[in-house]
Amino acid sequence: MSERLAANRFELDEEESHIHVDQALCRSTGTGAALVAVCPAGVYSERDGEILVDYAACLECGTCRAVAAPGALTWHYPRGGFGVTFREG
Amino acid sequence: MTEAVEPDFDVIVVGAGPAGSVAAYRLAQQGLSVVLIERGEAPGSKNLSGGVLYGRVLDQVFPGFADEAPVERRITRHVTTFLTPDSAVSLDFRSDRLAEPVNAVTVLRARFDPWLASKAEEAGVFLMAGVRVDALLTEPGPDGSPRVVGVRAGEDELRARVVVAADGVNSFLARDLGLRRTEPTNHLAVGVKTVLRLPRAVIEDRFGLTGGEGAAHAIVGDCTLGIGGGAFLYTNTESLSLGVVLRLDDLVRSGRTAIEVFEHLLEHPGLAPYLRDAQVTEYGSHLVAEGGAAMVGTIATHGMVVVGEAAGLTINSGLTVRGMDLAIGSAIAAADAIVEAVAAGDVTASGLAGYRRRLEAGFVLRDMATYGRAPKFLERTGMYGAYGELAADVFHGVFGLDTTPRRHLLGVARRALKESPVTVRQLISDGWAGVRAL
């Protein structure tokens, strides 16, 4: 998995993450488990009941946004010029 | 109508994918001033699709585009396969009639989209790349609902008579205005794709192609571990596009992860002969809306129209997966309606109503309606497991000569059906539903 992502080009926004999770809502709504299941980049993982977010690997598809309960996830596109750059697409 | 502030452009188009670039091109061609805003550092750099463009509609805008645009291969072979852990049953359609006129081509978006955007620029469109639009500028409209007057990107504000939201399946612009509802997860799927490099001659040998011909393989069954959806394998000039599309409700229910299913696909023995020695060059994903006509919400409001995937215009019929052609079709309709509305001096929802009228008269909304039942049909579970097994058992019964006395085909089929979890009633019911849906 990490090998495949390594082939991609990413411009990391060091100053701000475009993804934020509400830990309590992620737990109570089951959103946390759904995020881990659907993200093709492995951005989300769970440790000791907390959802960890590796936003640098995000492929910007928005699938996480689609499965999240209202309020459990704030997901936007990265700022202009940052994030993944596809050379094939 | 007098405007409080003179607009900077006639039209702002947000998103330089096929919908945005074609709309911008057509608007500029008809004399409007247009800015095309793209959040990627260049057009195409954020865009990804499976890769088949049913391009006849683009010929209406750029006749003979396939000769000029950076397309990969012309698809002359469509293979549909039911895959089980140890067998594959395929329907293989190849035809010279698909070559001329060019019916479908594979594209890699990081190459194809810049070409489309350059056509828009040549027509006079001002391209702003590397800029993320953060919000719409609105004012109270004639009936109290908001009227879109421009966009905000960081500190900057740009005003226009009309905004075209071509910002893709996640369309924050359409959502912020409440034009798109939150889709149920049974109407959404995640596409996961990798591009695998192989020499040109190896691709042509493995897939039975010559020259610029291409093959499109659609696969259902064990490739998704029985999860609703399917896999695809498309030939590019010097690479393959391999991916899965997984329905989100079924994926979450399965207890598996998208990564796990994708890795299963990569290692599937049924695909190994095609993929041997291929090098991964890229890995990406895309959210797919599969809800059919039900997903298309309000597509024209005061001062704004929504096109392409932002408007929910995608079709998965099981056999064909379409987005780009619908995006282009909607862009043509939207541009012509905007030209009409600007000329008439009425860019309210009613002034822009010509957009939906054109979509309904053309193939875009008609096809959305025709395949309206497809999503429901594709939720029937037999498609992803038992049917493939059943078909493989029947053909094994025909070809697997093990020195036991043979039976007539009907007997083989009867016995396979008896041993399968599929019932005759289910087969008839699904068959009838399939005929009606597809």
CA dist., res. B209 & res. B226, Å (int) = 30
B30 has a pLDDT exceeding 90: yes
Summarised one tens digit per residue, pLDDT across range B334-347 is 999 999 999 999 99
**HEC readout, chain B:** CCCCCCCCEEEEEECCCHHHHHHHHHHHHCCCCEEEEECCCCCCCCCCCCCEEECHHHHCCCCCHHHHCCCCCEEEEEEEEEECCCCEEEEEEECHHHCCCCCEEECCHHHHHHHHHHHHHHCCCEEEECCCCCEEEEEECCCCCEEEEEEEECCEEEEEEEEEECCCCCCHHHHHCCCCCCCCHHHEEEEEEEEEECCHHHHHHHHCCCCCEEEEEEEEEHHHCCCCEEEEEEECCCEEEEEEEEEHHHHHHHCCCHHHHHHHHHCCCCCHHHHCCCEEEEEEEEEEECCHHHHCCCCEECCEEECHHHHCCCEECCCCEECHHHHHHHHHHHHHHHHHHHHHCCCCCCCCCHHHHHHHHCHHHHHHHHCCCHHHHHCCHHHHCHHHHHHHHHHHHHHCCCCCCCCCHHHHHHHHHHHCCCCHHHHHHHHHHHHHHC
Rounded percentage of chain B residues whose pLDDT exceeds 90: 74
Amino acid symbol at B210 = T
Q: Is B156's Cβ below 8 Å from some Cβ in A?
A: no
- Taking residues A6-17, what's their average pLDDT? 92
Query: Which member of B110, B258, B259 has the closest CB to residue A88?
Result: B110
Return the higher-pLDDT residue of B50 and B387: B50
B1 has a pLDDT exceeding 70: no
Best mutation target, A29, A36, A61, to test chain B (most B CBs within 10 A)? A61
Q: CB distance A86–B111 less than 8 Å? A: no
CA distance A87 to chain B (A): 5
* pTM recorded for the entire structure: 0.94
CA distance B357 to chain A (A): 30
Best mutation target, B131, B132, B171, to test chain A (most A CBs within 10 A)? B132
Chain B residues within an 8 Å CB radius of A11: 41
Summarised one tens digit per residue, pLDDT across range B221-236 is 999 998 999 999 999 9
Domains delineated in chain A: 19-77 (3.30.70.20)
Summarised one tens digit per residue, pLDDT across range B31-83 is 999 999 999 999 999 999 999 999 999 999 999 999 999 999 999 999 999 99
- Taking residues A45-73, what's their average pLDDT? 96
Residue A5: which pLDDT band, with cuts at 50, 70 and 90? Answer: confident
DSSP codes, chain A = -HHHHHTSEEE--SS--SEEE-HHHHHHHSHHHHHHHH-TT--EEEETTEEEE-GGG-----HHHHHSPTTTEEE-PPPTT-EEE-S--
Q: CB distance B111–A89 less than 8 Å? A: yes
Best mutation target, B182, B185, B188, B190, to test chain A (most A CBs within 10 A)? B190
pLDDT at B169: 95
Q: CB distance B44–A89 less than 8 Å? A: yes
B4 has a pLDDT exceeding 70: no
* Mean pLDDT of the residues in chain A: 95
B260 has a pLDDT exceeding 90: yes
Summarised one tens digit per residue, pLDDT across range A26-58 is 999 999 999 999 999 999 999 999 999 999 999
Q: CB distance B283–A84 less than 8 Å? A: no
pLDDT at B390: 86
B229 φ, ψ (degrees, to nearest 5): 140, -150
Whether B286 and B193 have beta carbons less than 8 Å apart is answered as: yes
Tokens of B255: 């207890």
Stretch 23-62 of chain B: residues touching chain A, C-beta under 8 Å? 39-41, 44-49
Question: Considering only A7-11, A52-56, B136-140, B425-429, which range has the smallest mean pLDDT?
Answer: B425-429
Stretch 207-266 of chain B: residues touching chain A, C-beta under 8 Å? 239, 248, 251-252, 255-259, 262-263
Stretch 170-209 of chain B: residues touching chain A, C-beta under 8 Å? 170, 172, 183, 185, 188, 190-192, 194-195
Q: What fold does the segment set B9-70+108-182+292-372 form as a domain?
A: FAD/NAD(P)-binding domain (3.50.50)
B391 has a pLDDT exceeding 90: no
A72 has a pLDDT exceeding 60: yes
Chain B residues within an 8 Å CB radius of A32: none
pLDDT at B51: 93
Best mutation target, A12, A54, A88, to test chain B (most B CBs within 10 A)? A88
Query: Which member of B108, B259, B286 has the closest CB to residue A61?
Result: B286
pLDDT at B381: 67
Is the bond preceding residue B7 a cis peptide, omega within 30 degrees?
Answer: no
- Taking residues B145-150, what's their average pLDDT? 96
Q: CB distance A8–B284 less than 8 Å? A: yes
Summarised one tens digit per residue, pLDDT across range B172-212 is 999 999 998 888 888 899 999 999 999 999 999 999 999 89
pLDDT at B24: 98
Summarised one tens digit per residue, pLDDT across range B409-430 is 888 888 888 888 888 888 888 8
B309 has a pLDDT exceeding 80: yes
CA dist., res. B228 & res. B186, Å (int) = 9
pLDDT at A11: 93
CATH number for the segment(s) B186-289: 3.30.9.90
| Nearest alpha carbon to residue B338 among B328, B357, B351, B325 | B351
Token pair 């596009």 is at which residue?
A: B241
B318 has a pLDDT exceeding 80: no
CA dist., res. B204 & res. B211, Å (int) = 8
Return the higher-pLDDT residue of B370 and B292: B370
Q: Which residues pair with B14 in a beta bridge?
A: B37, B165
CA distance B137 to chain A (A): 18
B397 has a pLDDT exceeding 90: no
Domain-wise residue ranges, chain B: 9-70+108-182+292-372, 186-289, 385-437
